[in-house]
Structure 1
Amino acid sequence: MSEAAFLTDFHHVASFGATENKGVERQAATPEDKLSRDWFAAFAAQRDWEVRVDGIGNMFALIELVPGAPYILLGSHLDSQPLGGRFDGAYGVLAGLHAAQRVVERLRTEASTPEFNLAVVNWFNEEGGRFAPSIMGSSVFAGSMDEAKMLAVKDLAGTTVAQALEAIGYLGTDVRPELAGYAEIHIEQGRILEREGITLGAVDYSWYTQKLDIEVLGEQSHTGATAMADRHDALVAASKVVLLVHDVTAQFAAEALVSSVGQLTLEPNSPIVVARRVHLVADLRSASPQIVAEARGSLIADIAQIAKDHDIRINVNDFDVRDIQYYPEDGLELTEKVAANLGLEVRRIRTMAGHDSVAMNRIVPTVMMFIPSVDGVSHCEREFTTDADMLAGVQALSGVAWEMVHGALSPRRNAGTELFEVAAK
């Protein structure tokens, strides 16, 4: 397929849920998400590729090259953050579809015999903006999250995942494909590639992630009639917790730890009522599990002191803990080989963010690649990557997919600790 065809498709998909400032609002299992899913299904159907939807809403476009063989899977996700960017996730899905088409076209003209079939995926709820936790669909596929529990997760309005998927027609029952490998390409969401003038990143490992589910419980009262000394204001205490989460990074070397509170809800949320309950989630990430553990310990102690000072209760629970994942050396070398053949400069790079590839790397040989992000911004409308960098990434993914369907990677030990298992769950 031509470069122009990819760009036309990419910018068309960016119109689904488009915002005034050139971003997208396409949270999981919303009507806007349905538009992108319908487009994915139509793209596959026009090429006579089989479409499957599994029990957690993951979509697969399957291309049979070797009857009965497992699949090499390409893809990412089409859902977005609230007021998110149009590149995050969607680029990887579009690149996967076009890379798959290029492999099919190349097989028609070259005398080669693939070992595996090829497929493209749109993972459900990678972002986790509407339904927590994030990376849900791929984690259920990989067996690290329970499907029934995830289907029962509710958004802030009380709608479950199952209800939301059913409402848009994507609560599937299809059998999940058997896999032999996975490859994903994504915008970096950082500044390293842009700063160094490098087109392609070969991701070698992911950061350790630890989230804290924090519930601050005070007492509801009148904002005008209650004496200051008699108040048990959950929001005041919660505001101090938010600052603690931000300030804990100063206890370590610069950029050794990142932390934030990105979501906060309060009850009853009235302008004339002292808040009785605040719920928030703290996100801690580092290349060092020890640093995260130390930060967590410091926060737990300081939060306990805040509860005591304000005479309220604060419940803190560990949530969504993810170990460091190392990507296979063979996959890194494959990316470097493909980049060299294409004349693209490449470097190894870590990912601080979570991706579907982190979940998939637990069960099959996985390749993860980055292309540059302008100014390193992401999860906002200003997110941007140039057409030239997107097109170079599609070339790279096409090359990696070609090699993988011909057996370039096979199931083997990951970081010398666990055998990959072919996913047939």
Structure 2
Amino acid sequence: MKTFHRILGNTHLAAVAAMILGAVLLAFSASAVAQYSEPETCMGSVCHSDQYNDWKVSGHPYKLMKAEDARNRPIPLPEGYTWDNISYVIGGYKWKSRYMDLDGYILTQDGDGTLGNGNTQYNNFTGQWSDYNANLENGTKPYDCGRCHTTGWVENPDPTDLSGNQDMLPGIHGTFFAGGIQCQACHGTSHPGNIPAMDETGGCADCHIRGDANTIPASGGFVRHHEQYNEHLASPHAAFNCSDCHNPHKKGEFSIKESAECGVACHSGIAASYAETSMYDYDVTCEDCHMPYATKSAKALGPEIDGNQTHGDVMTHIFSIDTDPAGDMFTEDGGFVALDSDGKAKVTMNFACQRCHLTSSLEELGRFAENFHGRSSSSLEGLGIDPGLSGHWWDSTRSGEGFMMEVAYVGDDVFVFMSFYAYDAAGNRTYLFAQGLVDPGATT
């Protein structure tokens, strides 16, 4: 019996040990899950340091920041406010900053509180303040944008029930796990070894979309912001995924994959002929013309010419250019981008061309832009004598010698002024000048 009791005791101890071990493993598992919820864990130095470092300096983590974090960044405050009056900052990384009061409502008036004072949106590119819903009193504009500004957003169907509001604040109509777009917002909450496959276009489209995906909302002569997916579907690239061209962890302007550069991935023939043009010599890139700033997030950055805007602050993903000087990019009421019968859009020359060529008319630009990549010759001469040839030209093997050329349209004719600088037989500096009208498309 004694031996039996010893065996039974050992069996009992083994069971207890197993229970303890199970509890330890369960606690470890729970701890691991809790740790994984922080991006520093799942994308830290152990596993994904490169992706983490790229993500950390992109705009995604900073879509919504607590005031205690935002105050350490170079973000100014609206007149009459201190950081003690602010609960959260919306944005503040690239384009603009908006501010939430201690009840979670978005500020619409400056510190004076007088209706119409406004100046509660700070525009980073211009360093200027502008209005945001200045027709509303403070304490009336709720924050309900968490789906694209936070991770784990759950909308509160009854905002008067403060238990469903973040921090129990009446102005925040939902809850979230963390401000900004953290790892789980795109990858889900599973263990890194079991991340579900993500439809990468659909993933980006969760936020980079406005309204019906088959329309492109517009306002004030610009495409409205965060509509890249809408534009993408109306472009020649609709069959591609976002990540075919972009590294989604990187800041937008640095996110284009080398393998996706226009002249590498798809348009090598066009890129080769374009490399022989003066625009290439002036470092005009594919994106400059085909992805112009036709969208506005915070503030227009260029002048209005003949009733047309020329320069927003976000690049478009429409790509195709309308070279018709009379073309209209928007519907008659200005509320949407105009689409053709196939649902495709085109960006007009006031954005694609006039942003740089401010003194050229759309008629002049249209002559130069029409069939630009489809001309019979890939050589510079094949372009004809056009305003794009204006500039200084020289042969690096012939020091001190070259041309200065200015070309402009005069009605239906092309006016050319040229200066040739060289040396005569005695070594003296010599200038030769010529000017006159030539036929459009002439090459000599």
Q: Which structure dedicates a bigger proportion of its chain to strand? A: 1
What TM-score results when the alignment is normalised by the length of structure 1?
A: 0.23
Q: Give the TM-score, by structure 2 length.
A: 0.22
**Is the helix fraction higher in 1 or 2?**
1
